[in-house]
């Protein structure tokens, strides 16, 4: 079949970007966002302190820095937690500890020291997500985090503190609010997390992989927040390079996207297939004879008329080169 | 839009962003000199003894880990920090198949060097059997059966072959292991510049069940060797100045397969015949390389605006290996036609563009736009097959037979699949401090393909979101999306399917026209700071509305509920349940014999079924249709309880994990309306097919429970015990023991890889040391 070139109007996205630039540069004035009611945490962690929540007020310009030893006088547990984290590594000039320590993020505390009840500092448990994120991305705006703005999680109102804890992390790596990555991600993505318990699964529950092995939750150029490559197949073949090809005889779903046939999070079927063979294959192959035969209970291994096309590993027992073949007669992937 | 225009556009966009002058922002906050840091060394280890008792499929209990008996050393970590450097190292499962070692040295703000060695075993079975022996180390891999055993198998009646197999087979482990060595550094020559480089080497070796065949009902399963290596190099530099960020990188990936061909004896044929070979040869994964380069520019502007442009190009190639010969059957050598070329010449060029723009131009307005382009340009030359040798048996003409039994004009040639994908996303969100955030978004995706039924498809998706996340007590996130993908069905495309023997009305579901609806609602309720509830509902449906054959309908429902409680500082409770329901409906047509009289495409499209079904015209008679509904139901429960610092010394942890999945594939027959979509509307009286015997239910259940107790003798020394219980139960008509009562059946020889239940218990006696 010949190849036709699809049309996507150039003017459409140029106009879209141009409008966006115009808005940005038109000098639309934005009023400061007023502090909202306290935000509910996605994952409940042990409270760092039992002091009552003070009323929210933005620090005034007369507040001055007092040093973290003053903070620790009252916020002993929070200080202890912070001291155990990379944020406290003062030798690193990029850390809060090398700057104003607690006050780097929470703001100058002199007025809060004088009036703890009525002059509160930035309390990240109650700040709107965009303010939390703005604080964190003052420093965390490179590397893994450069594409956070507009990413799937950011656009849904998640804050950095939805997943990370500065003072009381349960997992040191990444300062996560849960003991493992998958438990944290399961808070919202429960169905994906439960799939690792299926018989066909990646080595996640064995501790050899985790969600961030494939996904960059902070933003990515690839689809589905995949951290490598520019397509699903490119991500999968960073490890499964044996499926990369290029083959002489190619199998279309293997080239166009591994998830056509496989569920990367887990499946009850062999090789993490989305459905059992031959039914999976019969969803695309409708011809005469065995591709379209009904393989019912009579044809299973324990049936009256067992067929190799349904028991054991089904179609790929013969069509074993299913991802592609370099045999001259490999058209049907049997050689 | 031509390729040249696309690339000019990408270059323009990148240049545009680079050319706009940026005002620098003040860097960070004022710093004070750090206080002197004394050297500190901390670390810990968890070691002791472990004993596992597993009944049933012990291999599946291990799968990706080593649970063997004896001493263990786990969670070893050592950290040393002084005024200038930070050292970190550790190990897990030392001395085991799944061991892992890691270490890093960091001079904060300047350089970090790190390395890791990781082993990932994969144990599939320890009870697999085979008649084959392998000549290890060669290329191709050669699997042989002693001539005497081949003759016995050939001469034996089918009922007697299992005994020959059992008497002569060898039991072996089907397992493999990945050994990954990876290291890299992150160097900051200045505060603005970061250079990152990673080099990894992966070696994978072992065996994997792999099938070969010598005919339509022949199956020979063999332990295909895995002797692969993968070298990856990734280096990037990132420069940040003020509002601007620039990044450029190169990636290289080289895959080497030491075994790209496998030769294997035919257990049922000792000598070559024209139509029945004594040996076969097949191809496995080819060696290849993929090299790419990428660049990105990003700028932060006022009103929380960020614009980012990303471009990548890549080249995928095989290593130029020669095409293997058509056959290994020496009897047929004289009749083999020459091949049009001697090498695969596999090659592809990839390119990607990603332009994003996000902004909050007003307090209550959030906008984002993204354009993504992905182009997989397959440059492997088309290979016209001169002659087909299917099973190393009699060479035949490389032709298609059309669906109607008439000669086909189609040429048997390769199809170097390619795709070019344009995606445009735009989202607008309206924020309100009181009423939540409402958003509307639109996505248009246009795909242009080579050698697929639909050469071009376009999908438009509208989505609505509504989030309430600013409240202390509850939060709700909702999302609904509706999309429609359409492709142009041409008469030529349908005729092309007919000519290669496929039904013109089948649509491959990965590209078929489709309406998609999805909704998710995720909520949390936190009545107290120490108690929170969460729940979600997700539902979706893919309606392949133009697919007469193939996947027709795909739905899912997911319900989750969870609870997290911290009733006291030292007590954590977690409980979650999820129920998943998936259903997929497909439709096909069963034709077991030749079409008689033969039927052209035009006759097929115009066919009117006779009053009584005729098997010879089954290809065009809806009374031979059948449907299958695949339904899966999953229940999952996770419960955990932590009670820490009991009497200031004892920590207790309990975990229970339950997952049960039931799958049922139900057949249905009969239809008198050619475009009937859902099989449940059938009239059984109209079917020409015998009633199917329904497949049995597929059941899998996994239960895991763990108990951990650690008693602190001193702040640095603790003793503990852990008990793991794991139970797996399975009933699977394809791979359980009932499905495979014998490894040799007719002309099929299997290895014996199966789904077997197991019950396993592992007891750990632990010593935990911290320093």
Which residue in B17, B128, B175, B303 has the most chain A C-beta atoms within 10 A of its own C-beta, making it the best mutation to test that interface?
A: B303
DSSP string computed for B188-211: EEETTEEEEEEEEEEEEEEEEEEE
Go through B256-282 and write b for each residue having 16 or more CB atoms within 10 A of its CB, e for each that does not.
bbebbbbbbbbbbbbebeeebbbbbbb
The conformational region for residue B137 under phi > 0 = left, psi -120 to 50 = alpha, else beta, is left
Are A178 and A262 within one domain?
no
B567 burial level (CB within 10 Å; 0-12, 13-18, 19+) = exposed
Q: How far is B462 from chain A (nearest CA, A)?
A: 16
Give the model's pLDDT for residue B38: 64
Query: Which of A39, A206, A285 lies at the smallest CB-CB distance from B63?
Result: A206
Q: Which residues of A touch B297 (CB under 8 A)?
A: none
Q: Which residues of B touch A268 (CB under 8 A)?
A: 632, 661, 663, 698, 700
User: Would you state the structure tokens that stand for residue B662, as one six-digit string?
Assistant: 């039931």
Binary contact (B590, A298; C-beta < 8 A): no
Taking the CA atoms of residue A258, residue A260, residue A261 and residue A266 in that order, the dihedral angle to the nearest 10 degrees is: 80
The alpha carbon dihedral of A202, A206, A212, A217 has a sign of: positive
The better pLDDT of the pair A83, B312 is held by: B312
User: Would you state the structure tokens that stand for residue B641, as one six-digit string?
Assistant: 């309880």
Asked if residue A2 is part of any domain, the answer here is: no
Are A284 and A320 within one domain?
yes
Distance CA B212, CA B143 (A): 11
Binary contact (B350, A234; C-beta < 8 A): yes
Alpha-carbon separation of residue B542 from A65, A334, B124, B508, B566 (angstroms): 58, 32, 35, 13, 41
Binary contact (A268, B663; C-beta < 8 A): yes
Q: 3-state secondary structure string, A91-128? A: CCCCCHHHCCCHHHHHCCCHHHHHCCCCCCCCCCCCCC
Cβ within 8 Å of B, A 18-77: 20, 23-24, 26, 28, 30-34, 36-47
pLDDT surpasses 80 at A56: no
Task: For residue B291, give the H/E element and its range.
Answer: strand B288-301
Binary contact (A306, B689; C-beta < 8 A): no
Residue where the block lists tokens 């006759």: B603
Q: Looking at residue B238, what DSSP letter applies?
A: E
Give the model's pLDDT for residue A222: 94
User: Residue range B276-299: average pLDDT?
Assistant: 95
pLDDT surpasses 80 at A11: no
Distance CA B677, CA B507 (A): 13
User: Residue range A283-312: average pLDDT?
Assistant: 91
pLDDT surpasses 90 at A3: no
B606 pLDDT band (50/70/90 cuts)? very high
Asked if residue A11 is part of any domain, the answer here is: no
Distance CA B405, CA A15 (A): 54
Around B246, how many Cα atoms within 13 Å sit in the side-chain half-sphere? Answer: 11
Q: Which residues of A touch B2 (CB under 8 A)?
A: 5
Are A275 and A309 within one domain?
yes
The model's pLDDT over A192-224, given as tens digits with 9 standing for 90+, comes to 999 999 999 999 999 999 999 999 999 999 999
The model's pLDDT over B649-707, given as tens digits with 9 standing for 90+, comes to 999 999 999 999 999 999 988 754 434 455 455 565 678 898 899 999 999 999 999 99
Contacts (Cβ under 8 Å, ≥6 apart) of A238: A228, A229, B232, B253
pLDDT above 70 coverage of chain A, percent? 82
B758-770 and B365-378 beta bridge pairing = unpaired
Helix B161-168 with B147-155: angle, nearest 10 deg: 160
Are A144 and A109 within one domain?
no
Asked if residue A223 is part of any domain, the answer here is: yes
Around B309, how many Cα atoms within 13 Å sit in the side-chain half-sphere? Answer: 15
The model's pLDDT over B44-80, given as tens digits with 9 standing for 90+, comes to 999 999 999 999 999 999 999 999 999 999 989 999 9
> B393 with B276: CB under 8 angstroms?
yes
B109 pLDDT band (50/70/90 cuts)? confident
Give the model's pLDDT for residue B138: 76
Contacts (Cβ under 8 Å, ≥6 apart) of B714: none
Query: Which of B98, B305, B549 lies at the smallest CB-CB distance from A286?
Result: B549
* Domain final position from A114, A148, A175: A114
Asked if residue A190 is part of any domain, the answer here is: yes
Search chain B and give the residue with CA nearest A301.
B739
> A316 with A307: CB under 8 angstroms?
no
pLDDT surpasses 80 at B537: yes
Are A186 and A272 within one domain?
no
Binary contact (B357, A20; C-beta < 8 A): yes
Task: Quote the mean pLDDT of chain A.
Answer: 82
Within 10 Å of residue B327's Cβ, how many Cβ atoms?
28
Q: Which residues of A touch B257 (CB under 8 A)?
A: 242
Binary contact (A294, B689; C-beta < 8 A): yes
The model's pLDDT over B693-744, given as tens digits with 9 standing for 90+, comes to 999 999 999 999 999 999 999 999 999 999 999 999 999 999 998 888 888 9
B672 burial level (CB within 10 Å; 0-12, 13-18, 19+) = middle
Distance CA A82, CA A76 (A): 10
Q: What is the largest distance, in Å, between two alpha-carbon atoms of chain B?
A: 96
Give the model's pLDDT for residue B685: 65
Q: How far is A48 from chain B (nearest CA, A)?
A: 10
User: Would you state the structure tokens that stand for residue A241, as one six-digit string?
Assistant: 């390079």
Binary contact (A188, B471; C-beta < 8 A): no
Give the model's pLDDT for residue B671: 57
Give the model's pLDDT for residue B413: 95
pLDDT surpasses 80 at A104: yes
Length of chain A (residues): 335
Task: Quote the mean pLDDT of chain B.
Answer: 90
Asked if residue A293 is part of any domain, the answer here is: yes
The candidate with the shortest Cα–Cα distance to B634, out of A48, A197, A294, is A197
Rounded to 5 degrees, what are φ and ψ at B304? 50, 45
Asked if residue A40 is part of any domain, the answer here is: no
Distance CA B771, CA B768 (A): 10
- Radius of gyration (C-alpha) of chain B in whole angstroms: 31
Are A164 and A215 within one domain?
yes
Contacts (Cβ under 8 Å, ≥6 apart) of B11: none
| Any B CB within 8 A of A260 CB | yes
What is the number of structural domains in chain A?
Answer: 3
Q: How far is A323 from chain B (nearest CA, A)?
A: 9
* Domain final position from A82, A114, A146: A114
Give the model's pLDDT for residue A44: 37
Binary contact (A40, B493; C-beta < 8 A): no
Are A213 and A266 within one domain?
no
Query: Which of A275, A296, A298 lies at the smallest CB-CB distance from B630?
Result: A275
Distance CA B129, CA A231 (A): 39
Which residue in B57, B295, B358, B757 has the most chain A C-beta atoms within 10 A of its own C-beta, making it the best mutation to test that interface?
A: B358
A34 pLDDT band (50/70/90 cuts)? very low
Give the model's pLDDT for residue A89: 85
| Any B CB within 8 A of A186 CB | yes
Rounded to 5 degrees, what are φ and ψ at B193? -120, 130
Give the model's pLDDT for residue A240: 97
Asked if residue A22 is part of any domain, the answer here is: no
pLDDT surpasses 50 at A28: no
Q: Could you list the residue range(s) of the whole structural domain that residue A247 is in? A: 242-335
* Domain final position from A59, A83, A114: A114
Give the model's pLDDT for residue B144: 92
Query: Which of B37, B536, B619 lies at the smallest CB-CB distance from A91?
Result: B37
DSSP string computed for B529-573: TTEEEEEEEEEEEEE-TT-SBEEEEEEEEEEEEEEEEEEETTEEE
> B284 with A321: CB under 8 angstroms?
yes
> A255 with A245: CB under 8 angstroms?
yes
| Any B CB within 8 A of A331 CB | yes
pLDDT surpasses 90 at B363: no
User: Residue range B566-582: average pLDDT?
Assistant: 94
Binary contact (A302, B257; C-beta < 8 A): no
Within 10 Å of residue B535's Cβ, how many Cβ atoms?
19
Distance CA B177, CA B476 (A): 44
Give the model's pLDDT for residue B5: 36
Q: Which of A20-29, A46-55, A91-100, B760-769 has the highest mean pLDDT?
A: B760-769
Q: How far is B765 from chain A (nearest CA, A)?
A: 20
Give the model's pLDDT for residue B30: 38
pLDDT above 70 coverage of chain B, percent? 93
Are A223 and A264 within one domain?
no
Binary contact (A199, B728; C-beta < 8 A): yes
Are A147 and A205 within one domain?
yes
3-state secondary structure of A88: helix
Alpha-carbon separation of residue B504 from A120, B419, B453, B496, B671 (angstroms): 71, 22, 10, 8, 18
The model's pLDDT over B118-127, given as tens digits with 9 standing for 90+, comes to 999 999 999 9
Binary contact (A206, B64; C-beta < 8 A): yes
The better pLDDT of the pair B2, B640 is held by: B640
Asked if residue A206 is part of any domain, the answer here is: yes
Q: How far is A276 from chain B (nearest CA, A)?
A: 9
Distance CA B521, CA B414 (A): 46
Q: Looking at residue A78, what DSSP letter applies?
A: H
The alpha carbon dihedral of B729, B731, B736, B737 has a sign of: positive
The candidate with the shortest Cα–Cα distance to B668, out of B591, B732, B585, B592, is B585
Give the model's pLDDT for residue B340: 95
pLDDT above 90 coverage of chain A, percent? 55
Distance CA B600, CA B402 (A): 8
Q: 3-state secondary structure string, B648-670? A: CCEEEEEEEEEEEEEEEEEEEEC
A118 burial level (CB within 10 Å; 0-12, 13-18, 19+) = exposed
Give the model's pLDDT for residue B81: 87
- Radius of gyration (C-alpha) of chain A in whole angstroms: 28
B339 pLDDT band (50/70/90 cuts)? very high
Q: Which residues of B touch A156 (CB under 8 A)?
A: 465, 467, 477
Distance CA B737, CA B57 (A): 11
Q: Number of Cβ pairs closer than 8 Å across A and B?
A: 547
Q: Which residues of B touch A34 (CB under 8 A)?
A: 433
User: Out of A10-19, B17-26, B478-487, B596-605, which region has the weakest mean confidence (pLDDT)?
Assistant: B17-26
Search chain B and give the residue with CA nearest A203.
B64
Are A134 and A206 within one domain?
yes
User: Would you state the structure tokens that stand for residue B217, as one six-digit string?
Assistant: 């009902």
Binary contact (B414, A288; C-beta < 8 A): no
Tell whether ipTM is more than 0.85. yes
pLDDT surpasses 60 at A40: no
Are A107 and A142 within one domain?
no
Distance CA B150, CA B266 (A): 8
């Amino acid at each position: 079949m010949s190849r036709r070139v699809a049309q996507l109007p150039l003017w459409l996205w140029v106009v879209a970007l141009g409008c966006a630039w115009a808005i940005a540069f038109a000098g639309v004035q934005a009023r400061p966002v007023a502090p909202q009611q306290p935000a509910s945490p996605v994952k409940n962690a042990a409270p760092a302190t039992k002091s009552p929540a003070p009323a929210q007020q933005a620090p005034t310009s007369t507040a001055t820095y007092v040093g973290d030893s003053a903070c620790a006088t009252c916020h002993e547990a929070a200080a202890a937690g912070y001291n155990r984290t990379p944020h406290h590594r003062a030798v690193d000039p990029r850390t809060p500890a090398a700057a104003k320590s607690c006050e780097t993020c929470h703001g100058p505390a002199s007025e809060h020291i004088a009036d703890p009840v009525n002059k509160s500092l930035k309390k990240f448990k109650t700040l709107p997500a965009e303010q939390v994120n703005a604080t964190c991305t003052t420093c965390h705006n490179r590397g893994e985090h450069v594409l956070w703005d507009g990413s799937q999680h950011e656009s849904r109102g998640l804050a950095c503190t939805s997943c990370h804890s500065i003072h009381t992390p349960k997992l040191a790596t990444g300062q996560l609010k849960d003991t493992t990555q998958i438990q944290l991600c399961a808070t919202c993505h429960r169905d994906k997390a439960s799939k690792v318990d299926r018989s066909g699964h990646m080595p996640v529950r064995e501790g050899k992989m985790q969600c961030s092995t494939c996904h960059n939750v902070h933003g990515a150029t690839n689809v589905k927040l995949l951290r490598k490559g520019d397509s699903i197949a490119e991500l999968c073949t960073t490890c499964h390079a044996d499926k990369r090809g290029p083959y002489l005889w190619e199998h279309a779903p293997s080239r166009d996207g591994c998830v056509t046939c496989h569920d990367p999070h887990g499946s009850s079927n062999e090789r993490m297939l989305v459905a059992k063979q031959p039914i999976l294959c019969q969803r695309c192959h409708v011809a005469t004879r065995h591709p379209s035969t009904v393989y019912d209970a009579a044809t299973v291994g324990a049936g009256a008329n067992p067929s190799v096309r349904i028991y054991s590993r089904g179609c790929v027992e013969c069509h074993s080169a299913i991802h592609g073949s370099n045999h001259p007669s490999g058209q049907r992937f049997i050689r | 839009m031509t390729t040249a225009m696309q690339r000019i556009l990408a270059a323009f966009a990148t240049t545009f962003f680079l050319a706009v002058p940026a005002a620098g922002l003040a860097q960070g906050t004022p710093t004070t000199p750090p206080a002197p840091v004394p050297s500190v060394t901390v670390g810990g280890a968890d070691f002791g003894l472990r004993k596992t008792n597993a009944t049933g499929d012990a291999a599946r209990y291990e799968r990706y880990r080593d649970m063997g008996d004896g001493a263990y050393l786990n969670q070893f970590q050592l950290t040393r920090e002084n005024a200038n450097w930070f050292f970190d190292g550790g190990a897990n499962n030392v001395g085991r198949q799944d061991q892992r070692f890691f270490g890093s040295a960091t001079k904060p703000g300047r350089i970090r060097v790190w390395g890791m060695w990781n082993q990932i075993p994969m144990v599939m079975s320890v009870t697999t059997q085979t008649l084959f022996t392998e000549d290890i180390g060669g290329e191709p891999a050669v699997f042989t059966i002693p001539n005497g055993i081949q003759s016995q198998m050939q001469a034996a009646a089918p009922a007697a072959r299992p005994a020959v197999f059992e008497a002569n087979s060898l039991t072996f482990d089907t397992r493999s292991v990945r050994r990954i060595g990876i290291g890299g550094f992150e160097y900051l020559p200045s505060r603005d510049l970061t250079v990152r480089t990673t080099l990894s080497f992966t070696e994978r070796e072992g065996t994997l069940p792999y099938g070969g065949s010598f005919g339509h009902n022949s199956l020979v399963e063999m332990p295909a060797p895995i002797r692969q290596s993968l070298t990856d190099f990734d280096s990037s530099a990132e420069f940040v100045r003020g509002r601007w960020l620039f990044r450029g990188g190169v990636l290289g990936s080289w895959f080497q397969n030491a075994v790209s061909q496998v030769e294997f004896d035919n257990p049922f044929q000792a000598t070559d015949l024209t139509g029945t070979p004594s040996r076969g040869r097949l191809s496995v994964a080819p060696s290849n390389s993929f090299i790419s380069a990428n660049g990105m520019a990003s700028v932060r502007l006022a009103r929380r605006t960020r614009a980012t442009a990303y471009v990548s190009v890549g080249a995928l190639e095989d290593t130029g290996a020669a095409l293997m010969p058509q056959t290994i059957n020496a009897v047929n050598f004289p009749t083999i036609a020459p091949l049009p070329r001697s090498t695969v010449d596999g090659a592809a060029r990839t390119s990607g563009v990603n332009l994003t723009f996000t902004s909050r131009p007003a307090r209550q307005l959030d906008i984002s736009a993204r354009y993504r382009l992905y182009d997989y340009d397959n440059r492997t030359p088309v290979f016209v097959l001169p002659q087909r040798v299917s099973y190393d048996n009699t060479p035949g003409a490389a032709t298609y037979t059309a669906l109607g039994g008439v000669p086909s004009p189609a040429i048997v040639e390769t199809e170097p699949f390619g795709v070019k994908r344009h995606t445009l996303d735009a989202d607008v969100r309206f924020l309100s401090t009181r009423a939540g955030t409402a958003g509307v978004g639109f996505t248009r995706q246009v795909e242009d393909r080579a050698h697929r039924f639909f050469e071009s498809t376009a999908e438009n998706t509208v989505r609505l979101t509504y989030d309430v996340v600013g409240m202390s007590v509850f939060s709700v996130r909702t999302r609904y999306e509706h999309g429609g993908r359409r492709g142009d069905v041409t008469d030529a495309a349908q005729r092309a399917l007919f000519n290669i023997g496929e039904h013109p009305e089948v649509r491959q579901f990965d590209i078929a026209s489709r309406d998609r609806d999805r909704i998710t609602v995720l909520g949390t309720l936190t009545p107290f700071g120490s108690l929170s509830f969460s729940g979600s509902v997700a539902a979706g449906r893919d309606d392949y509305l133009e697919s007469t054959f193939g996947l027709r309908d795909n739905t899912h429902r997911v319900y989750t509920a969870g609870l997290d409680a911290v009733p006291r500082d030292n007590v954590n409770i977690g409980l979650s349940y999820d129920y998943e329901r998936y259903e997929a409906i497909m439709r096909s047509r069963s034709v077991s014999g030749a079409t008689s009289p033969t039927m052209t495409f035009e006759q097929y499209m115009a066919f009117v079924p006779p009053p009584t079904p005729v098997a010879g015209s089954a290809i065009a008679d809806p009374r031979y249709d059948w449907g299958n509904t695949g339904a899966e139901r999953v229940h999952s429960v996770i419960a955990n309880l932590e009670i820490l610092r009991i009497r200031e010394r004892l920590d207790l942890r309990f975990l229970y994990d339950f997952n049960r999945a039931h799958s049922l594939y139900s057949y249905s027959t009969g239809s008198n309306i050619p475009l009937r979509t859902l099989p449940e509307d059938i009239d059984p009286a109209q079917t020409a097919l015998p009633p199917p015997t329904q497949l049995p239910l597929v059941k899998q259940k996994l239960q895991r429970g763990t108990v951990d107790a650690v008693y602190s003798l001193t702040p640095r020394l603790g003793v503990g015990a852990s008990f793991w219980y794991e139970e797996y139960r399975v009933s699977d008509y394809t791979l359980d023991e009932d499905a495979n009562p014998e490894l040799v059946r007719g002309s099929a020889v299997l290895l014996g890889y199966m789904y077997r239940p197991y019950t396993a218990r592992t007891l750990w006696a632990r010593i935990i040391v911290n320093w």
